[in-house]
Amino acid sequence: MSATNVVPQQQFERETYLNKVYGMWSWLLTTDHKRIALLYLISITFFFFIGGFFALLIRLELLTPAGDLVQADTYNKLFTQHGMVMVFFFLIPSIPAVLGNFLVPMMIGAKDLAFPRINLLSWYLYIIGGVIMLHCMMTGGVDTGWTFYVPFSTNYTNTKFVEAGIAIFIAGFSSILTGLNFVVTIHRMRAPGMTWSRLPLFIWAHYATSIIQLLGTPVIAITIVLVACERALHLGIFDPRLGGDPLLFQHLFWFYSHPAVYIMILPSMGVVTEIIPCFSRKRIFGYSFVAFSSIAIAVFGFLVWAHHMFVAGMSVYAGLVFSFLSYAVAVPSAIKVFNWTATLYKGSIHYDAPMLYAFGFLGLFTIGGLTGLFLAALGINVHVTDTYFVVAHFHYIMVGGAVMGYLGGIHFWWPKISGKLYPEGWARLAALIVFLGFNLTFFPQFVLGYMGMPRRYWDYSHMPEFQVLNVLSTAGATVLGVGYLLPMIYLLWSMRYGKPASDNPWNAAGLEWKTSSPPPTDNFKEEPVVTWEAYNYEELDAPPQALEVPVG
Amino acid sequence: MGLHHEEEQHPELLHHFAEPEQQRNAASLGMWVFLGTEIMFFGGMFCAYLLYRHWYFGDFGAASKSIDATLGAANTAVLICSSLTVVLAVWAAQTARRALLLAMLCVTMLFGLAFLGIKGYEYYQKFEEHHVPGPSFSFENVPVPGHPGEYANPRHAQIYFSLYFLMTGIHALHMIVGLGIFSWLLLMAWGGRFTPAYHTPVEIGGLYWHFVDIIWIFLFPLLYLIDRHP
Ligand code: HEM
Ligand SMILES: [Cu+2]
C-alpha cells in the first residue's frame, strides 16, 4: 500500500482551512485548531534546530579528550540550554501541540477545540516564553543544568537563571492551557455515537497526557517562583545554612519532571497505536488494556519521582519504596509493548515510512524502558548515577521513543495536514538514517557510562580510553543530524511539488480520514455520526460483497 | 440537529458548539479543571509549609503569635460574606433580577477590596516590626509558646514569614484577578448581556471567587492559629 493513491487535479480549488483566508493576520489571529497546530509546528521546529545546534557543539567538544573547543563555563551553558530548549520548548509541546491540536477535534468529530481562543493564547504564551529564552541565551545564557538544582541556582551561579526560569514558567502555562483544552474537548465535544470505548487510542493517550500537564505543571511553576524568591531575597526555604532543605527542591522539581517525561512519551505512544493497526491491517490487540494503561501511567507516574534522588541523601527506606514503585510504573508501559507486538502478529504488514518510524519507536523505547529498570534498582543506580548511562537511558526514550513517534506521526498525517503526498522513497531512507544514526550516537554512551564516564564534563583527558566511543557517538550524531534535515527538506518540497493526496491515502480507519485532505475549516461537511468501533480494519478490507445486506 | 434555528435564538452560542447546553457545560468543566491546577499550584507551598512546620514547630508557633489573629478572623468573615453575595448574584442572574445582580456584584467587589485593605494593613504592621524577610529582618528574643525560657530561632521564623508572605501574597494576587473578573461581569451585567438562558460567565466567575475564598479558609488556621491557647 505505497502512497500512490492520487486523485486527479481538481479544476476548481476546493475551500480548505489553508486557503479560506490569506495573509499574515489570518494566521496570527486564527482560532482554527488546525492553523494553530501549524503555527506550533513551525515554532517547535525552530527550537528543535536551536537545541540541535547546542547538541552539535557538545558532541564536537567531546570528540577529543581535552577541553579544547570550549571552556568549562561555556560547556555548562551548552548542555543547560540544550536541555532546557529540547525539554520545555520542543518535546513537551511537540506531539500534543502539533498533532494533538490538529487531530483531537477531528478524531472525535468536533468542529474545533472547546476553547479556540485559549488555544491561540497558549501559542502566544509559548512564543513569549520562547523569546525570553532566546534573549536569555543570546545575552549570556544559563549554566545550571536543565534541572537547576539548589543551592547552585539560588546562591552561586552568576548566569541568567531567573530569566530562564521566567521563560519556563510562561511556557508552562501554555502547556497547561493545551491540556485544559484537550480534557474539556474530549469530555464535551464528542460527536454522536463517539463513546469512550470507540475513541481512538491517540485520544486516550492525549487525555492521560493532559492530566499530567494539568496536575504536574503548576508544581514546577510554583517551584520556579520559590527558587527565584530564594535567589533574590535569600529566604532560607532551600538554603541549609538558614534552616532550609535543598532536598525539598528536588522533591518538588521531580514531582513535575518525572511525570513530565510521560508528557513526552504518552502522545508518542498514542501515535504509534494509530500507525501499527493501519499498517498491519488489523484491529488493535486489547483496546481497553492500551487505553487504561495510558491512564495508569498518568496516575502511577506521579508516585515515582524520588528515583532521581537515590543518592541525594534520602533515607534508604524511601529509596526502597520508590525503587519498588518505579518497577510498578514499568508494567503499564510493558502492557503497551506487548499489545503492539500482538497487533503485528499475523497482520499483513506494510513497510511505509510511518511504520518504519513506529518500528524504530518499538525497539528504542523498549531499550530505554529496560535500562530505566536498571536505574531503578538501587545498587546499579549508585554505580551509574550521573554517568552517561543515564544520558543514554533518557535519550533512548525521549529521542528514540518520543521523537521517532513524532516523526512517524508527521509522516502519517502529512497528507491530511498539507493535502500533499511526501516522497515515499526519501522518507524510508530518512527513517533508516535516523534509526542508524541514533543507535550509533547513543549506544556507545551506555558503555561509556557503565565504564564510569560522568555526564556534564567537558574534559576527559585523564581517561583517554573513553575517546573511541566518544568519536563513534559524535559520528553518529552527524548521521542523525542528516536524518533530521532530510524530512525538513522533502516535506517542504512536497508542499509545492508533492502529488495531491486523496482523502484517505492509507485506507485508514478514524474520523479524520473521512473528511477531505486538507480539511475544510469546520472539519466536516456535516456532523459525523459514529456507528462503528475504532480500528475496524478487518471491515474496511473485507471484500465488498461481504458487506452487502441481503434484501428481502 | 436544527442548528441554524437554535443559533438564531442564542446570539451567545459560539459556532463550534452544537447547542447552548454543550457550551455551558464546557465552560464550567473548564473552570473546574483550571481550579484543579490551582490546587496543585498552591500545593507546592502547602508542602513546604508542612515540612517546616513539622521541623520547627516551636518557632512557627512563636512567629504565628506575632500576627494579629483578630485581623485574620475579620478577613475570614469578610470573605465568607462575599461568598454569600456571589451566590446571590448567580441566583439573581438565573432569575433575571438585573438590579439585584448589579448590587450583588458591587457588594462582592467591596468585600474583596475590604479584604485587601485589611491585608495591606497587616503587611504594614509586619513591615514596621521588621518581620519582612530580607536584610532588615529581625526576630530576636521572642519566646516559644508553651516552653518558658526558650526563644525562637530567627532563621526558622524567617522561613515562616517567607511562607506567610508568599502564600498570602499569591492569594491576594488571585483576589486582585478576581476583582478584575468581577469588574468585567459588572460591565456585562450593566449592558444587560445576562439572561436566564445565558449567564455562564457569572457562574464560572463565581466558581473562581469561591475557590479563592476556600484557599483562605485553609490559610487562616494554618498561618494564624499555630499553637494558640487562650
Ligand atoms: C520504564 C519506566 C522508567 C523507569 C523505571 C525509569 C527510571 C529512571 C531512573 C531511576 C532515573 C534516574 C537515574 C539517575 O539519575 O541516577 C531516570 C532518569 C531519567 N529518565 Fe527514566 N525511567 C523510565 C522511563 C522514562 C521515560 C518514559 C522517560 C522520558 C520520556 C524517561 C526520562 C528520563 C530522564 C530525562 C532522566 C534523567 C533526568 C536527569 O537527571 O536529567 N524515563 N529514569
Ligand atoms: Cu523518572
Q: Identify the CATH number of the domain in which residue A523 sits.
A: 1.20.210.10
**pTM listed for this prediction:** 0.93
Residue A420 has what DSSP assignment?
B
Residue A47: predicted pLDDT: 98
Does any domain span residue B126? yes
| A393 Cα: distance to centroid of ligand 1 (angstroms) | 7
Does any domain span residue B9? no
Does any domain span residue A262? yes
Does any domain span residue B86? yes
Residue A362: predicted pLDDT: 97
Query: How many separate domains does chain A show?
Result: 1
Q: Which residue has the cell 513569549?
A: A128
Residue B5: predicted pLDDT: 44
Q: Domain span at residue A314?
A: 30-542
Residue B15: predicted pLDDT: 87
Q: Domain span at residue B155?
A: 42-224
Residue A552: predicted pLDDT: 45
Cβ contacts of B37 on chain A, cutoff 8 Å: 176, 180, 214-215, 217-218
Instruction: Work out which ligand 1 atom sits closest to the CA atom of A365.
Output: 27
Residue A548: predicted pLDDT: 53
CA distances from B221 to A347, B73, B79, B127 (A): 63, 9, 14, 22
Distance, in Å, from the CA atom of B204 to the CA atom of A474, rounded to the nearest integer, reads 54
Min Cα separation B103/chain A (Å): 30
Does any domain span residue A550? no
What stretches of A345-387 show up as alpha helix (H) in DSSP? Answer: 353-376, 378-384
Considering every ligand atom, which ligand is closest to the CA of A402?
1
ipTM above 0.85, yes or no: yes
Does any domain span residue A522? yes
A348-357, B83-92, B135-144, B202-211 — which is least confidently predicted? B135-144
Please tell me whether residue B184 adopts helix, strand or coil conformation. helix
Q: Which of B22, B47, B158 sits opposite A235 (nearest CB)?
A: B158
Does any domain span residue A12? no
Name the β-bridge partners of A500. A420
Interchain proximity A214–B37, CB inside 8 Å: yes
Q: What percent of chain A has pLDDT over 70?
A: 96
Distance, in Å, from the CA atom of B135 to the CA atom of A232, rounded to the nearest integer, reads 11
Distance, in Å, from the CA atom of A157 to the CA atom of B203, rounded to the nearest integer, reads 47
Interchain proximity B48–A248, CB inside 8 Å: yes
Does any domain span residue A4? no
pLDDT over threshold 70, residue A8: no
Residue B3: predicted pLDDT: 42
Interchain proximity B16–A110, CB inside 8 Å: yes
CA dihedral A530, A534, A537, A541 (to 10 degrees): 0
Does any domain span residue A538? yes
Q: What percent of chain A has pLDDT over 90?
A: 92
CB A227 within 8 A of CB A274: no
Which of the pair, A1 or A205, is modelled with greater confidence?
Answer: A205
Q: Which one of A111, A178, A212, A233 makes the best mutation probe of the B interface by having the most chain B beta carbons within 10 Å?
A: A233
What is the tens place of the pLDDT at every residue in A384-416? 999 999 999 999 999 999 999 999 999 999 999
Q: What is the mean pLDDT of residues B73-86?
A: 97
Lining ligand 1 with CB less than 6 A are A 147, 261-262, 264-265, 307-308, 326, 329-330, 333, 369, 372-373, 375-376, 381, 385, 390, 393-394, 397-398, 402
CA dihedral A59, A64, A66, A69 (to 10 degrees): -50
Q: Which residue has the cell 526514550?
A: A397
Considering every ligand atom, which ligand is closest to the CA of A260?
1
Q: Which residue has the cell 508568599?
A: B166
Which of the pair, B72 or A550, is modelled with greater confidence?
Answer: B72
Distance, in Å, from the CA atom of B98 to the CA atom of A118, rounded to the nearest integer, reads 29
Which of the pair, A445 or A549, is modelled with greater confidence?
Answer: A445
What is the tens place of the pLDDT at every residue in A307-363? 999 999 999 999 999 999 999 999 999 999 999 999 999 999 999 999 999 999 999
Does any domain span residue B186? yes
Instruction: For residue A107, count other CB atoms closer than 10 A to its CB.
Output: 24
CATH number of residue B59's parent domain: 1.20.120.80
Distance, in Å, from the CA atom of A303 to the CA atom of A262, rounded to the nearest integer, reads 12
Instruction: For residue A475, count other CB atoms closer than 10 A to its CB.
Output: 16
Does any domain span residue B56? yes
Q: What percent of chain B has pLDDT over 90?
A: 86
Min Cα separation A152/chain B (Å): 19
What is the tens place of the pLDDT at every residue in B12-24? 888 889 888 999 9
Residue B229: predicted pLDDT: 74
Does any domain span residue B17? no
Query: How many separate domains does chain B show?
Result: 1
Residues of B with CB under 8 A from a CB of A: 1, 15-16, 18, 22, 25-26, 29-30, 33-34, 36-38, 40-45, 47-48, 51-52, 55-56, 133-134, 153, 155-156, 158-159, 162-163, 166, 170
Residue B64: predicted pLDDT: 95
What stretches of A237-310 show up as alpha helix (H) in DSSP? Answer: 246-280, 287-300
Q: Which one of A187, A188, A227, A525 makes the best mutation probe of the B interface by having the most chain B beta carbons within 10 Å?
A: A188
CA triple A16-A20-A26, angle to 5 deg: 125
Q: What is the mean pLDDT of residues A59-66?
A: 95
CA triple A88-A91-A93, angle to 5 deg: 75
pLDDT over threshold 70, residue A547: no
CB A190 within 8 A of CB A529: no
Does any domain span residue B7? no
Does any domain span residue B90? yes
